[in-house]
Amino acid sequence: MAHALWTTAAVGFCNGNAAISSGSVVASHRNAAISFGNREVEVGVMMCGGSSGAMVAWKRQQQQQQQQQLSKKKKKKGKDGGGFKRRMMEEEDVVAVVSALAGREEGAGGVVLESSEALEALKGLELERSSSSSSSSNGKKKNGHAVAAVTSAVVVVAEEEIESVTERKRRSFEIDTVTEKEMKENGFRSTRRTKLIATVGPACCKFEQLEELASAGMNVARLNMCHGTRDWHRDVIRNCRRLNAEKGYAVAVMMDTEGSEIHMGDLGGVSSAKAEEGEEWFFTVRTFEGPLPAFTIQVNYEGFAEDLKVGDELLVDGGMVQFEVVEKIGPDVKCLCTDSGLLLPRATLTFWRGGSIVREKNVMLPTISSKDWVDIDFGISEGVDFIAVSFVKSPEVIKHLKSYVKARAPDRSIGVFAKIEAFESLNCLEDIIRVSDGAMVARGDLGAQIPLEQVPSVQQAIINVCRSLNKPVIVASQLLESMIQYPTPTRAEVADISEAVRQKADALMLSGESAMGLYPQKALDVLRGVSLRMEHWCREEHHGDRYQLPELSSAPTEKISEQICNSAAQMADKLGADAIFVYTRRGYMASLLSRNRPDCPIFAFTESQNVRQRMNLQWGLIPFRLDFGEDMESNLHRTFALLKARGMMKSGDLVVAVSDISSASQTAMLQSIQVRKIP
């Protein structure tokens, strides 16, 4: 069904001898000449749009060009574009014309306007009828262009065809909504480099709540498989996908396995319980038909009572609450709370004896439990972007899981992250990270297994190893613990976040603060604000201060990629470039650029939505989804025009560009860096 903005239109083609009659698809204004075929649009205003909006392209020099045409040609009067032969266009012709018009508006430096703006632009243009007749005289080709003349001051749009073209154009270029807004308002340098992860829980699981977190800067939504049913997690995953599809975000989903360490139960269904100093609590492996008795906590490990001794210290959730064992009564262990705090469902339990952690039983437990394997299958089937493995003790566990994931999802890339939270993992840290796709510094449980004073230095060491090996690293646990209950953080928490940003971690993660806290969005706002301020300070005060990166590979092709990206980052810093552009299919060159931590943002263009979401976890990357052209030059021109059209870049901006998508051999493709000013 055609949607008429005015009345009818007739279009003639010099080379095709075709005309579009009423009900066909093409739009222009009165008596204008349109040339298309080499990415040039010589037209006052051209419209291709449905009820949602009109796409309008023009060239500012249009009137001048028309005057040049008039001086070279004689006016030739005639009806309907100088008496062109006509034929009715078939449906595929209509789509082709609209696609041609819509696809070339970027090359002419076009912009996108809403319908009301388009109409105002049309009203403001006054072109003479003679323009069309003179430009179409003799019915000859000019410079290989097909010249079309529109004889009516009308626009007719076939709604269903336009919507199809508009949807294709929208999907051919996608950027995160929040990033686009920030860049328009504050410029390139305002973009946040450190990525933010929010754990989803009862406090933020609805679609509207997830949208609020995404608008506040959430890059990754984390699902903690210790809590909730699989149906609940499925709903969250699908809400995230819906958020991306409907609102233009690129929120990735990370699934965090429970692990087989010793855990508390679910507290009888309550969200939390407060343990006060001096209270007596019972830890038991028994099951109960009805509600849990008061001051009773279930434990998932059958040998719990046998392994503990009177006088042992019991640490909950990395030391958030502490107990002392005072008596063993059959399957129950009576404990005295020595350090008050908040008890959360499924919290980990560790016990100490004589000032040292008791490790023997934990070492015997498998890293990936039978429940974890079922959860992993669930995550693969639901298309999560990352799987974080709890309590990794050796690289073999990661290798095994990655081979399993690859076999189950051969057509999709799922990143496997190692959570560094077990003492044993520190003994083979580099080997674990080398085979992983990234690492998480889980400071809560790690802090229960090593002396507290060692946590900051271990955190820095893990970040350095990850960056050296080109693996993204997440700093997690207790970043804003006080904001579970209070609307403002402690100053010590702000300093802790600032230090993680200064250490150049890829991402910071909220756990209970967003999952079950009273102020999830405020906590994310604090994380974003502190990150932005600290990043700005680092650039201003330590410009050019670089971490010395070791070489990653000796293979020729990968070594060239690495050196190209290292050089591109250094060049961008020395030239004061506004951005680095990288065109990548797998995200590898984008990660190499991120590893260098340049001062300017990195615009990472890829064709894959899966790769785009995975890149949203890496430091400094602003991921775009873009349908690639045949070569680097066409991709650059198209990208420049699209970003200018959206108001995200302007003429004169300096860009350093690299790519791994050339149709030429990979070696030839990687031996150049382009430095361009946006025209």
| Rounded Cα distance, 272 and 268, in Å | 10
Cα–Cα distances in Å, from 144 out to 147, 195, 211, 227? 9, 49, 49, 65
- Give the list of residues 6+ apart from residue 662 with CB closer than 8 angstroms, or none: 631, 632, 668, 669
CA–CA gap between residue 470 and residue 438 (Å, rounded): 9
Per-residue confidence (pLDDT) for residue 175, from 0 to 100? 81
556-677 homologous superfamily: Pyruvate kinase, C-terminal domain (3.40.1380.20)
Give the pLDDT score at 547. Answer: 67
Confidence of residue 95 (pLDDT cuts 50, 70, 90): very low
Enumerate residues 6+ apart whose C-beta is below 8 A from 280: 295, 326, 334, 335, 336, 337
Report DSSP letters for 509-553, one per residue: EESHHHHT-S-HHHHHHHHHHHHHHHHHHHHHHSTT----PPP--
CATH number 3.40.50.300 given to 189-260+366-544: no
Instruction: Return the pLDDT at 520.
Output: 96
Mean pLDDT of 352-362: 74
Residue 136, both tokens: 């179409």
Is 632's pLDDT higher than 60? Answer: yes
Instruction: Name the more confident of 211 and 668.
Output: 211
What type of residue sits at position 119?
Answer: L
Instruction: Calculate mean pLDDT across residues 28-57.
Output: 34
Neighbours of 40 (CB within 10 A): 15
Length of the chain (residues): 679
Closest CA to 605 of 622, 630, 592: 622
Considering only CA atoms, which of 255, 394, 264, 268 is closest in space to residue 333?
264
Q: Percentage of residues in the chain with pLDDT exceeding 70?
A: 72
* 111-146: b (≥16 Cβ within 10 Å) or e: bbbebeebbebbeeeebeeebbbbbbbebeebeebb
Mean pLDDT of all residues in 448-476: 94
- Asked whether the predicted pLDDT for residue 83 surpasses 50, the reply is no
According to the model, what pLDDT value does residue 625 have?
92
Domain ranges of the chain: 11-175, 189-260+366-544, 267-358, 556-677
For residue 176, pLDDT over 60 is answered with yes
pLDDT at position 487: 96
Whether the pLDDT of residue 76 is over 70: the answer is: no
CB 161 within 8 A of CB 27: no
Q: What's the rounded Cα separation, in Å, for the pair 602 and 192?
A: 11
Model confidence over 100-127: pLDDT tens digits? Answer: 444 433 333 333 333 343 334 333 333 3
At 503-561, the pLDDT tens digits run: 999 999 999 999 999 999 999 999 999 999 999 999 888 754 566 889 998 888 888 89
What pLDDT score does 68 carry? 57
DSSP-based three-state secondary structure for 422: coil
* Alpha carbon distance, N-terminus to C-terminus of the chain: 40
Give pLDDT, residue 137.
Answer: 43
139-143, 194-198, 500-504: lowest mean pLDDT where? Answer: 139-143
Element (H, E) at 254: strand 252-256
Distance CA 530, CA 495 (A): 9
| CA-to-CA dists, residue 185 to 60, 117, 179, 581, 649, angstroms | 25, 21, 10, 20, 11
| Assigned token pair, 318 | 């990395």
- Give dist(CA 107, CA 637) in Å, integer: 7
User: Is the distance from CB of 368 to CB of 354 less than 8 angstroms?
Assistant: no
Distance (Å, rounded) from C-alpha 224 to C-alpha 198?
11
Separation of alpha carbons 27 and 5, rounded Å? 9
Vertex 8, ends 7 and 10: CA angle to 5°? 155
**Closest to 544 in 3D by CA, of 516, 575, 513:** 575
Q: Do domains 189-260+366-544 and 267-358 have the same CATH topology?
A: no
Instruction: Say yes or no to pLDDT of 155 above 50.
Output: no
pLDDT at position 185, please? 76
- Predicted confidence at residue 181, as pLDDT, reads 79
- Look over the chain and give the mean of its residue pLDDT values, rounded to a whole number: 77
How is residue 511 written in tokens?
A: 């756990």
Pick left, alpha or beta for residue 611 (phi over 0 → left; psi -120 to 50 → alpha; otherwise beta). Answer: alpha
Residues 140 and 84: beta-carbon distance below 8 Å: no
pLDDT at 599 over 70: yes
DSSP 331-350: TEEEEEEEE-EEE-TT-BEE
CA distance 296 to 652: 68
Mean pLDDT within 161-173: 50
Question: Rounded distance, CA 36 to CA 107, Å?
Answer: 10
Q: Which CATH class is domain 267-358?
A: mainly beta
Does residue 350 have a pLDDT over 80?
yes
* Owner of token pair 């509207």: 208
pLDDT at 444 over 80: yes
Banded model confidence at residue 630, pLDDT cuts 50, 70, 90: confident
- Asked if the model's pLDDT at residue 502 lies above 90, the reply is yes
Whole-number CA gyration radius for the chain: 31
Q: Is the pLDDT of residue 73 over 90?
A: no
**Mean pLDDT within 604-622:** 95
Is the pLDDT at 85 greater than 50, yes or no?
A: no
- Beta strands 220-224 and 252-256 are parallel
H-assigned helices in 452-490: 455-468
Query: Poorest-confidence range of 162-166, 381-385, 445-449, 615-619?
Result: 162-166
- Which pLDDT tens digit goes with each residue over 270-292? 888 999 999 999 999 998 888 89
More confident call, 339 vs 546: 339
- 8 A C-beta contact, residue 224 and residue 202: no
**363 band by pLDDT with thresholds 50, 70 and 90:** low
**Whether the predicted pLDDT of 407 surpasses 60:** yes
Which positions ≥6 away from 488 have C-beta within 8 Å? none
Residues 26, 98: contact at Cβ < 8 Å? Answer: yes
